[in-house]
């Protein structure tokens, strides 16, 4: 074999071996990196909670008298949900200067058609009047919450409405009203909306099943979920802190006849992490009676069907949005157990 032939032969052999080695290396590298990623996903590196807000105030739930119950559980796969050992606590931005808040609330009132100066009817609570439209607006400058009311109960035109809005029309009317008042932040605009039908009856306003029975439509606006996963729950799990009563009237001032608005700005980019209880620990607190019933029932025994983490919409002045465990059971029973471990709560 000549030297040139030998060189060509050895070159081809080298290329063939090199190609096989390259293929083997690429396959091995892919398998190793995939295995590492799977391991990291199953065993994430745990960072210590930051707890930079210090000791947090305990969640204040509305006062409610209730008797503890006997609980059993029937969960999916008969297993408690698995959660991280920590959760984010978000900062709730509030004004600490009431006089400046009043100036801002006057601007809001003007956008809603209330031009006159308000009257203080309580500590930090101001009442505005629109005598032309017979509307009253009550604003709490400390919390930023407000209520607008038109006396629809005595309006014969609304007892026999021109028409009832469709679901889509009612939602558009509600959002337009808040948008005009500059009170439709993104997390409300992008959150879930629910509607219900209501009738003005002799014994007051009551909910009905169909639009054919109704005088008006209620629109509840819920906040967008935290991280698109965890819900923000309120003291009443079936209603939102922001709701509007809308009608099919074409008369100015009678299209939206009641607004209840309880909203605090959550800074979703400003948070610290805190250690939380496991679902099993929260279950133990529920069974021990250390819970708050958002929706109580008369039954003494309740079967819990679902457990999950959520955030509780504050009902009092606070600077923090904290997580809770939600327990849902038969007959719409719903209870909340604070998720942050007791060590970090006042």
Is the pLDDT confidence value at 20 over 80?
Answer: no
Cβ atoms of residues 264 and 182 within 8 Å: no
**What is each CA distance from 170 to 111, 180, 183, in whole angstroms?**
20, 15, 17
Q: What percent of the chain has pLDDT over 70?
A: 86
**Are residues 212 and 140 located together in one domain of the fold?**
yes
Cβ atoms of residues 110 and 183 within 8 Å: no
**Are residues 206 and 283 located together in one domain of the fold?**
no
Total domains in the fold of the chain: 2
- Backbone angle region of 93, left / alpha / beta, with phi > 0 → left and psi within -120 to 50 → alpha: beta
**Are residues 306 and 278 located together in one domain of the fold?**
yes
pLDDT of amino acid 91 = 95
- Rounded to whole angstroms, the Cα distance separating 169 from 19 reads 66
**Are residues 113 and 224 located together in one domain of the fold?**
yes
The partner residues of 197 in beta bridges, in order of sequence, read: 208, 217
pLDDT of amino acid 10 = 64
**What is each CA distance from 257 to 113, 147, 196, 221, 307, in whole angstroms?**
13, 10, 15, 16, 37
Is the pLDDT confidence value at 170 over 70?
Answer: yes
- Quick: pLDDT tens for 291-331: 999 999 999 999 999 999 999 998 888 899 999 999 999 99
- Quick: pLDDT tens for 242-252: 999 999 999 98
3-class SS of residue 140: strand
**Are residues 314 and 254 located together in one domain of the fold?**
no
Q: What CATH number is associated with residue 317? A: 2.40.128
- Rounded to whole angstroms, the Cα distance separating 139 from 261 reads 9
**What is each CA distance from 11 to 2, 18, 99, in whole angstroms?**
14, 10, 87
Average pLDDT over residues 138-152: 94
pLDDT of amino acid 227 = 84
Domain edge (last residue) among 209, 238, 265 = 265
Is the pLDDT confidence value at 339 over 70?
Answer: yes
- Quick: pLDDT tens for 77-128: 889 998 889 999 999 987 666 667 889 999 999 999 999 999 999 999 999 9
The β-bridge relationship of strands 242-246 and 119-122 is unpaired
Is the pLDDT confidence value at 4 over 80?
Answer: no
Q: Average the pLDDT over each of 85-89, 119-123, 181-185, 199-203 and give the range with the smallest value.
A: 199-203
pLDDT of amino acid 214 = 94
- The per-residue pLDDT of the chain, averaged, comes to 89
pLDDT of amino acid 248 = 92
**Are residues 112 and 222 located together in one domain of the fold?**
yes
DSSP 242-277: EEEEE-S--STTSSEEEEEE---EEEEEEEEEEEB-
**Are residues 246 and 139 located together in one domain of the fold?**
yes
Give residue 83's domain range: 70-92+268-344
Is the pLDDT confidence value at 3 over 80?
Answer: no
- Quick: pLDDT tens for 23-80: 665 676 677 766 666 655 655 556 899 999 999 999 999 999 999 899 999 998 889 9
- Quick: pLDDT tens for 8-17: 556 666 666 5
**Are residues 111 and 253 located together in one domain of the fold?**
yes
3-class SS of residue 187: helix
**Are residues 290 and 301 located together in one domain of the fold?**
yes
3-class SS of residue 305: strand
Domain edge (last residue) among 235, 265, 295 = 265
Domain edge (last residue) among 231, 265, 299 = 265
State both tokens at 176.
Answer: 């337009």
**Are residues 279 and 337 located together in one domain of the fold?**
yes
For 199, the enclosing helix (H) or strand (E) is strand 193-201
| Residues in contact with 171: Cβ distance below 8 Å, sequence separation at least 6, in sequence order | 193, 195, 219
**Are residues 196 and 168 located together in one domain of the fold?**
yes
């Amino acid at each position: 074999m000549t030297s040139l032939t030998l060189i060509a032969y050895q070159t081809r052999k080298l290329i063939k071996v090199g190609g096989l080695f390259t293929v083997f290396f690429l396959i091995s590298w892919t398998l190793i990196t995939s295995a590492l990623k799977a391991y990291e996903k199953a065993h994430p590196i745990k960072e210590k909670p930051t707890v930079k807000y210090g000791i947090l105030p305990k969640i204040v739930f509305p006062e409610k008298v209730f008797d503890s119950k006997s609980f059993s559980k029937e969960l999916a796969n008969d297993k408690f949900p698995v959660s991280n050992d920590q959760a984010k606590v978000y900062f709730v931005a509030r004004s600490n200067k009431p006089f400046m808040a009043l100036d801002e609330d006057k601007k809001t009132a003007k956008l809603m058609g209330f031009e006159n100066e308000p009257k203080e009817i309580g500590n930090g609570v101001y009442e505005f009047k629109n005598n032309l439209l017979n509307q009253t607006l009550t604003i709490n400058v400390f919390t930023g919450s407000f209520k607008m009311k038109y006396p629809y109960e005595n309006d014969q035109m609304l007892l026999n409405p021109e028409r009832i809005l469709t679901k889509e029309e009612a939602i558009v009317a509600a959002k337009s009203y808040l948008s005009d008042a500059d009170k439709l932040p993104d997390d409300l605009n992008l959150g879930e909306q629910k509607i219900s039908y209501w009738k003005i009856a002799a014994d007051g306003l009551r909910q009905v099943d169909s639009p054919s029975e109704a005088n008006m439509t209620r629109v509840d606006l819920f906040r967008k979920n935290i991280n698109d996963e965890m819900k923000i729950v309120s003291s009443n799990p079936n209603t939102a802190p922001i709701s509007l009563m809308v009608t099919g009237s074409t008369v100015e001032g009678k299209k939206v006849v009641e607004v209840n608005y309880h909203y605090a700005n959550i800074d979703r980019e400003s948070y610290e992490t805190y250690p939380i209880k496991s679902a099993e620990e929260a279950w133990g607190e529920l069974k021990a009676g250390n819970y708050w019933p958002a929706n109580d029932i008369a039954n003494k025994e309740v079967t819990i069907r679902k457990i999950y983490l959520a955030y509780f919409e504050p009902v009092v002045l606070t600077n923090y949005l904290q997580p809770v465990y939600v327990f849902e059971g038969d007959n719409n029973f719903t209870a909340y157990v604070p998720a942050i471990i007791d060590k970090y709560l006042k």
